[in-house]
Chains A and B, each alone.
Chain A
């Protein structure tokens, strides 16, 4: 136990000091931390799920508070909470089903068959869940009753089903934790392979002789472009350097090394170049529930320019960047200001910075925000590891990945 707490504290400190960068790294670390937290958590015999949820929420709250701007932390916490709920539900379903089924058959593999008799019991739970989320596209297409389909939509659905079958035999107590950890492992897997899955879709979007513009640096974007390159597509890439950190340089170097024809442009030249560009492909920091994007600084400008020239603005985002919150004044509230030293040389401007000392307010302010908010109407397409989605479809994804009870992690656990 102390072990986990020290881990949590260490992570919190890292988050506070902004030692962890990039939503993917953060998401991965968070979910790993939560896994070890869950595995070390002792659960009471009754009402395990609620206890586990409370414990995870408490940790989650701490983590979120450590860096409220890094939305990936909150997303992952919510995902884990959702997983716990799902597992709990499927266990309950299996338990009920197991009881009624016991006399009928011992056939453990036949999932479909044991669903139908249970309908009376499961239907209640399923109905409750369906109220929370409307039927997804998959459920519409597959000819399965909602009651059966609902548990499947969770990412852990397939696996947990098999496990839940054995639930009647083993002790339910250990089962829940085990199942949850299994599912969390899957989540980790999903996060770490998300850009491969995104990159797989590259060929569908990049054709021959295309001119693509991107800003700053991102592994996802790089792999996406390289995937298209590997498929023998030849196209050109313009990389805006992405002030003030100029990560675009690194991206350009990497792309050039992979044999892509790459041109670096200054951020100010984006507007000039965009008229010659076929597509803008960028990464996101977080995707909000309304389809808006919290993106690296400068992308709002790029998106506006793209809109003006009717150039598709494509955002690559792993599912862990999907945030169930709605943005309110995101430019300010979901932003972060970095050190002015990235913009100005302190040595050079030290006297200027001191000018205001007499009046109490300095004459010189330096603004160095990290993120931009790109409203949904500027985004043409999201490419996630589950496929391409329109900004207006984001709410559906969110309903698939999060449970409505968890949307406000902080306030609930605080009260």
Chain B
């Protein structure tokens, strides 16, 4: 549970902002996400991700047929990929693209079926809050059933919590009063508000507050018809600032809690002080040795984290799926400790896992969205479900997410994009994107005659793997490096790129170098098509690649990428240089700007021996 607190302390002042999340309810009491947003303390920090609310149809399904879902979902893909997908696809994509981008408009097409769940939701929260009140004692006496959670929570947790409690309390009271007033105006269900106030007073500051508020505001909005919704809504929409690593206090705090003790790079690049800069290599072996003594992290999650760290899993979809599957494993093995509610406790656990994963490698936006989804579905578990039922329901929810939002989405993308490929086309792609790869293979299967130009760049040279796979399938390929992109662009007729995310100001966040390729294509008047699943959409805005990015391991610069002689050369010559591996680029759709995953290295006057 250690890690769970990382994000919370990181976003200390955000407790207030958590409060602001509550009004998310009002615009449409039926929308499902807001309570979750409030509930997840770490969710705020992972990435201020706004998951598109699950499609109504699907959530409904999950409610009604929780157990049959996994199989059903599987089969639904196949079915969906024929006819229905024709209909589903546009709706699915537009649904998504609109939702995250314009959440403040309120969700219009929401169906009524959530309204029915709302009262129960409110109730269950109230119950959860009560449980929560009881929780403190539980923590203190440290029940054996759930060793991990309480144990490490105590040392650092208590004090900071105190402070916040007061702040949160004040806020809670204020909100409660407001709600009470509103309720007095009409005939309100005061109970929920009251429950909220009670719970808010009882420790556990972060969680109760939003819930209570949520309830009260829901109540309020029902009466008032949403007078101050726009304001509140807007506030809610503001994504949380991410951890800035040049803030020493917070970094210190975060470090104390981290499972993965990363060695900080000795020569940090000034420009990227706000991003974590770590040495590579030291952590992996250390973590591996800890494998059998982990307490707070489920082995499956731990393994996934290790693989992220080692770079075995990369690519937005692969990472997201691996994470979700690990969560499934952990949910399977989960049992609710006595005197705790599954909803609360499981959320806490998931938060812990998530902050562990963040330490291994910063989350991609798609993962943030997936986590949002998972938390939403946990929070919306009907209270009357037994533990096993709840678990099965969650597992099937995850299955459905994977199959609908990722696999089916990819199929739809491929289906759409393949119509853009004509015979005789020369298609250019950069790096290795799973969606683009599927697209190319599909087009090849359809018998289209085309040639592929694969542009690659260091440090990962992912393009080589893609090249191998495509050539293996018999597609004619041209391989080159990114500097030569303007040389090959003459003959290219289409550019297909993958993306890590599409932000709400229309910028595309993708692997570093993508913007260069897009820019050159633009110069040569070649159309650029970006394949991005809708679950990767995000409401954040960003103007350049420097403010927010992921820095890779500097040692990627030489490890495994160079022929040995070059590696030796580098090792001997670049001892102690500054290196930075910036991981992304962002670009505007039309103007093409901003990236993810680039390498920066700094060669400073300081020289130190690097021993690979």
Contacts and interface: CB of A to CB of B under 8 A. Distances in A.
Interface of A: 239, 241-244, 246, 249, 252-253, 255-257, 259, 261-273, 275-276, 297-298, 300-301, 304-305, 308, 331-332, 335, 340, 343-345, 348-349, 352, 355-356, 361, 363-369, 372
Given A301-B482, A363-B471, A268 B603 contact: no
B225 interface: no
Given A243-B482, A263-B269, 8 more contacts: A243-B481, A263-B601, A263-B602, A264-B599, A266-B599, A273-B598, A301-B486, A363-B471
A367 B600 contact: no
B474 A272 contact: no
B549 to A, nearest CB: 8
Contacts of A267: 457-458, 481-483, 513, 516
A269 B513 contact: yes
Given A266-B459, A272-B544, A243 B600 contact: no
Residue picked from A243, A246, A301, A332, most chain B C-beta under 10 Å: A301
B520 A301 contact: yes
A264 B520 contact: no
Contacts of A246: 566
A166 to B, nearest CB: 54
Contacts of A262: 602-604
A276 B271 contact: yes
Contact of B487 (A276, A340, A369): A369
B578 interface: yes
A268 B471 CA distance: 24
Interface string B575-607: 001111010010100011111001111111100
Contact of A275 (B478, B481, B546, B600): B546
A168 B382 CA distance: 113
B591 A331 contact: no
B490 interface: yes
B467 interface: yes
Interface in B516-562: 516, 519-520, 523, 544-546, 549, 557
B512 interface: yes
Interface residues of B, number: 64
A209 B405 CA distance: 48
Which 3 pairs from chain A and chain B are nearest by CB?
A: A268-B513, A269-B598, A298-B483
A243 B458 contact: yes
B483 A243 contact: yes
Contact of B512 (A266, A332, A367): A266
A245 B411 CA distance: 39
Contact of A352 (B468, B512, B544, B594): B468
A247 to B, nearest CB: 12
A366 B599 contact: no
B573 interface: yes
A243 B486 contact: no
Interface in B415-464: 456-459, 464
Contacts of B513: 266-269, 271
B265 interface: no
A305 B481 contact: no
A364 to B, nearest CB: 5
B471 A364 contact: yes
B12 to A, nearest CB: 30
B478 A297 contact: no
Given A363-B475, A367-B487, A269 B523 contact: no
A272 B546 CA distance: 7
Given A308-B591, A368-B480, A369-B487, A268 B474 contact: no
A125 to B, nearest CB: 46
A275 B544 CA distance: 8
B610 interface: no
Nearest to B563: A345
B570 interface: yes
Contacts of B587: 271
B564 to A, nearest CB: 11
Nearest to A257: B605
B464 A344 contact: yes
6 contacts: A249-B574, A265-B580, A300-B520, A365-B479, A366-B479, A369-B480
Given A265-B599, A367-B488, A344 B546 contact: no
B133 to A, nearest CB: 49
B577 to A, nearest CB: 7
B579 A264 contact: yes
B412 interface: no
Given A268-B595, A308-B591, A352-B472, A331 B580 contact: no
A87 to B, nearest CB: 42
A239 B520 CA distance: 20
B111 interface: no
Nearest to B459: A266
B485 interface: yes
Nearest to A349: B468
B88 interface: no
A252 B578 CA distance: 11
Contacts of B385: none
Contacts of A335: 487
A331 B545 CA distance: 30
Nearest to A259: B605
Nearest to A269: B598
A361 B545 CA distance: 41
Nearest to A251: B603
B585 A272 contact: yes
Nearest to A237: B603
Nearest to A256: B603
A352 B484 contact: no
B575 to A, nearest CB: 10
Nearest to A362: B476
A259 B479 CA distance: 38
Contacts of A243: 457-458, 481-483
B477 interface: yes
B512 A272 contact: yes
B573 A253 contact: yes
Given A263-B269, A363-B474, A366-B480, A268 B457 contact: yes
B371 interface: no
Contacts of B459: 266
A242 B482 CA distance: 10
A263 B458 contact: no
A267 B587 CA distance: 16
A264 B533 CA distance: 33
B600 A305 contact: no
Contact of B477 (A275, A276, A304, A363): A363
A304 B520 contact: yes
A369 B472 CA distance: 25
B480 A343 contact: yes
Contacts of A255: 603
A243 B580 CA distance: 17
B603 A264 contact: yes
Interface string B483-525: 1111110100000000000000000000011011001100100
B125 to A, nearest CB: 44
Contacts of A332: 490
Contacts of A363: 471, 474-477
Contacts of A305: 516, 519
Contacts of B512: 266, 268-269, 272
A409 B457 CA distance: 40
Contacts of A368: 480-481, 484
B563 A265 contact: no
A269 B599 contact: yes
A168 to B, nearest CB: 57
Given A264-B600, A305-B519, A365-B477, A252 B577 contact: yes
Contact of B582 (A269, A301, A352): A269
B602 A297 contact: no
Contacts of B579: 264
Contacts of A369: 480, 484, 487
Contacts of B599: 264-266, 268-269
A264 B472 contact: no
A241 B458 contact: yes
